[in-house]
Structures are given as C-alpha cells and as structure tokens.
Amino acid sequence: MIELIEVNKAFDEIKAVNHVSLKITDGEVFGLVGTNGAGKSTTLRTIAGIIKPDSGIVCVDNRPVYDNPDVKKDVFYISDDQYFFPNSTPEDMAVFYSSIYKDFDKDKFDKMTTGFGLDTSRKINTFSKGMKKQVSILLGLCAGTKYLLCDETFDGLDPVVRQGVKSLFAAEISDRGLTPVIASHNLRELEDICDHVGLLHDGGVVLSQDLSDMKFNMQKIQCVFKSEEDEKKALEGLDVLIHDVRGRLHTITVRGERTDIEKAFKRGEMIFFEILALTLEEIFISETEVVGYDIRKFILG
C-alpha cells in the first residue's frame, strides 16, 4: 500500500502539494486527476522518492520511500517529460533498467516492442512522441515492480495503441498484482480503467473515492412531472445534488441507491421517467459542487 499523510511541498512561493493525504490499495488502478499545475506530477515524484516533502509522511508498504533504494526498487516512475540516454535505443534502455530492477523481463520487453511495431535497434531520439511514450510504458511494465507511477500515460497515444496499453495494464494487474497510479487531466481517459479516483486542485485533495461506490450511490434521472405537486412528492427527503430544468424536462442528480430513488419517484405521477448511467465527469461535477468547487473550471474533457 502507498500512503501519504499530510504531505506538503513548496517551490519558493508556490505550494505544489498542500496537505495531501491519500491511501492507494494494492491491486487497484488509482487515477489521480486534475489540470496542469494541480500537483499531480509533484505528488507522483514524491511517491517515487525523487522529491523530498517539506513535511508529512510518504510510505510504500509501511516504509519511507525517500532516500531508500530498497523501497525504490518496488516503484517505476514514468514521467510525462521522458528522459532517455543520448543516442540510446530501446535495447540500450532495457539493458540499463535490467541492471536496476532485478525482475526486469527482457524477453517480455522484446515481445511487447515487436507487438507494438517498435524497432529496438533504432535510436529513440528519432521516434515520435507517441512512440517514445510507448517505449517508456513497456519499460515500466517489464521492470517487474509492484507499483507503476504514470504521469499523463496516454497522452500522445493513438486510440488503437491506447487500448492496447490498457489491455496490458489489465493483464499485469491480473497476473502479478501490479498497482498502477495514473495521473491525468482527462477524466474520460480514466473512466474505463480506474478503480479509485483522487481529485487534486491547487495542490490539495478535493476528494478521493472508489469509483464503483460513487456510481452505485448516485443516480441521474430524466423525467417529466405531471404537475408541480408531483414534483414535490417525488423529491421530498431526497439528497438532490443537481437539478436542471429545460422546458418540462427535469434532469436531476440524486445521491442514493437506485431502488430507493425509484421508490421515491413513484410517489408522484410522471409522464416520462428514466435513470441514466452517470459518467465519471458527471459524478465529479456533482461531488465537487457540493463542497464548493466547480469542476468544469479546472477539469478538461
């Protein structure tokens, strides 16, 4: 498990990480979302032991990570701004990482690079941005570490490669219990892969919740009430988060289980009623507005 307790990090006058507390459970895909400047990269670098926090605790499996090589061997960090040795090839980088990570699987790396159509003898500085990102991801997956920290992992990948990478993540999670932590500014990108999502804004954690719990305990209803009295009957006592009205069509986001919501709405007569699936973005809009944030101002679609 990765745990951050009241972690703070400032660069001069800028508070990059501000009282961040998170728990990342083994075997889950943890999504860290927020715009550029929200503190995602600094948080990942702190978990990787690259940056020392000004205060607070950062532990990997109950061991402090900073200045602890034994712990760092369990963590692989993929930076958004990737670095490769000058004039190196994917083969060169695989040999280098093999010397650091004892469980690095060179055969798997060769197989994966072939599958993605990457020439391991070609200099990486001649690769496109997307190809460089693929090399970084495959090196990380083949390092055999317990934790994989990914900063904007899918940025620059075409849709086919993106789906292929997600499939590889799923296989590694199933086969050996890999725990990926994926930082992104794009909620839609993380929706089909993450188990748990944490939202950063201005260096702090707005909320951190299990995605399935959020979806189970929140419903989006579209309906047309027969009368205003029927509307009052249906909504009485419900925890309404968002209520938009266009003409006679009501779009209502309510906290609660589906069966309870259906039962409540039966108290009033309706011309039309349906419960819709909520997207991750809609869930976060609802949750963050409750605590005083407008997510639409700082989350990019």
Largest CA distance in the chain: 73
Residue 100 main-chain phi, psi, to 5 deg: -100, -45
Structure tokens given for 156: 């620059």
Contact between 139 and 94 under an 8 Å Cβ cutoff? The reply is yes
Each as own residue / partner, the long-range contacts of residues 7-13 (CB below 8 Å, 24 or more positions apart, any chain) are 7/43, 7/46, 7/53, 7/55, 7/56, 7/57, 7/58, 8/53, 8/54, 8/55, 8/56, 9/42, 9/46, 9/51, 9/53, 9/54, 10/54
Domains of the chain: 2-209 (3.40.50.300), 217-297 (3.30.70)
pLDDT in tens, 27-79: 899 999 877 788 899 999 999 999 999 999 999 999 999 999 999 999 999 99
Distance (Å) of CA 91 to CA 55, 88, 95, 97, 107: 39, 8, 6, 10, 11
pTM metric for this prediction: 0.82
Whole-number Å distance between alpha carbons of 134 and 105: 16
**Is the pLDDT score of 209 beyond 50?**
yes
pLDDT in tens, 153-207: 888 788 899 999 999 999 999 999 999 999 988 777 788 888 998 888 777 887 7
What angle, rounded to 10 degrees, do the helices at 106-115 and 129-142 form? 150
Whole-number Å distance between alpha carbons of 106 and 281: 39
Work out the end-to-end distance of the chain between its first and last CA atoms, rounded to an integer number of angstroms. 30
**Burial (CB count <10 Å: 0-12, 13-18, 19+), residue 117:** exposed
Structure tokens given for 181: 């932590």
